[in-house]
Amino acid sequence: MGEVSRHEIKHILLGMLVMGLTAALFLLSYQSGPKGEAAGYLLSARFNATDGISVGSEVVLTGIKVGQVTAREYDTKRQNVLVKMAFQEKVTVPHESTISIVSDGLLGSKYLKIEPGGSEANMKSGDIFEFVQDSIPLLELLEKIVIEAEEKRARATAPASAKKTDNPFSVLNP
């Protein structure tokens, strides 16, 4: 066998090793994903926008994971998304609690966050959250920040004579 043949065989074996490792990592990540239905009791919430939430997303109460999303279904009659969640049996969620879709940092994954309500009674399996806050898309949030900053800059650079003086307390804010 010549030097070129050995070199080609090494490249072929290296390529096969890379493909094998890629397949193994893919299978490992697939197996470590969300697994079927979680044990515990089920609660639901209706959202208009569920951007970033999927089956297996965490449900967090006071900073601790207490459940996970088990299903997302579009309701054609109500024109919204029904999100079903499974909670640990030992966890109690008070009625009047608020559930919202939040992001883990600026570019982090999204999860459902529960703010406990003031009710003495707790939610039971099959109940639906009454108070929800939809996902706020990052682009929309940044757009609002930019518009507000531009308006603030425009007010600051406006001539003093153009500012309104019909406010009796305007003398307190020079």
**44 has pLDDT over 70:** yes
End-to-end CA distance of the chain: 89
pLDDT at residue number 163: 53
Q: Where are the domains of the chain?
A: 1-32, 41-139
pTM above 0.75, yes or no: no
pLDDT tens figures, 71-83: 999 989 989 999 9
**36 has pLDDT over 60:** no
Q: Which residues pair with 77 in a beta bridge?
A: none
Lowest mean pLDDT among 134-143, 151-160, 162-171: 162-171
Three-state secondary-structure class, residue 88: coil
pLDDT at residue number 134: 84
**86 has pLDDT over 70:** yes
pLDDT at residue number 57: 92
How far from the centroid of its chain's Cα atoms is residue 2's Cα?
A: 58
Name the pLDDT band for 162 (thresholds 50, 70, 90): low
Distance CA 148, CA 41 (A): 43
Q: Does domain 41-139 have CATH number 2.40.30?
A: yes
Find the mean pLDDT for residues 94-108: 85
Distances in Å between the Cα of 79 and the Cα atoms of 49, 56, 73, 76 are: 10, 23, 11, 5
